[in-house]
Amino acid sequence: MKYVYLLLLAFLIVGCDDTPDNDTTNDTTIEDESPLLFSDQSIVRHLESKLEIPATEDYTYAIYREHINGDDSLDYIVTVNLLDRAINNAVRDDALNTRSEQGFMGNYNFIILVDGAKKTFAEPLSVPSSAYGKLSVSFENIRSEAYKDIVIDYRIINACYRRFFTVLNGVARETFDTKIFSGLGDENPEAFDIRYATGTYSLAKDILIYKANLEEIQLEDPKKIYSIDPKITATEELERRWYFHDAQKKYFTQNP
């Protein structure tokens, strides 16, 4: 069977809830009663060191928990947003207006994987996107029913994309990236509904992309385009089916 590979664009949760333990600027309050494997202070020290964040720079981060690598320990995903850095860089480069119109696109959103069993931090992984939009994290049983894969939604101006990661040898490895919607607030938007099915060529689930309709919105404040969660109404029109390739650890599709 001939496949065409399509690369579309170049972490801890409480129970089964995708709400982060915290989302804060520098200081934090842990809402969950179960203890973290790492103190909040140790996480802050690590991300500030790795991302070279000085004491004068504001930033926000959130912590999610889930089983994502097949062992018995809960693991962590930490997301970091560096909007303050993006704005300061734009001011420095005399490009504030231009970059603001793009939502301060760049390497200002990061994820950090924390292995719960080994108690180790992976290197921060950049998710290029608009800094006005924070990363949204969820988890899905895709490669296995025993543990979850990581799902990251990110914004680029008035569009939203979804990137999938699986953990291999302590590293979060990207397996797939797809558009959720684009043209939000425009005359001709498009949207897609993501579904899963039993794997055709491997134990990993196939990913099915269905066409959908996007809610029409009007915003007086352009900045809200990065945080609004528009209603997506799915159709039964299949746009594309994707298959997981075990050797490549990526999703592929057939020629249309």
31: left (phi over 0), alpha (psi -120 to 50) or beta: alpha
**Full residue range of the structural domain in which residue 110 is found:** 3-254
Q: Report pLDDT digits (tens) over 223-237.
A: 889 989 999 999 999
β pairing state of 136-140 and 149-156: antiparallel
User: Which pTM value belongs to this model?
Assistant: 0.84
- What does the DSSP 8-state code read for residue 246? T
Q: Mean of the pLDDT values across residues 36-48? A: 78
Q: Which residues contact 234 (CB under 8 A, 6 or more apart)?
A: 193, 210, 212
- The proportion of the chain whose per-residue pLDDT surpasses 70, expressed as a percent, equals 84
Instruction: Supply the pLDDT for residue 146.
Output: 93
**Mean pLDDT, all residues of the chain:** 86
Checking DSSP bridges between strand 171-182 and strand 159-168, what pairing results, if any?
antiparallel
Nearest to 194 by CA among 180, 174, 177, 181: 180
Give bridge partners of residue 102 from the DSSP assignment: none
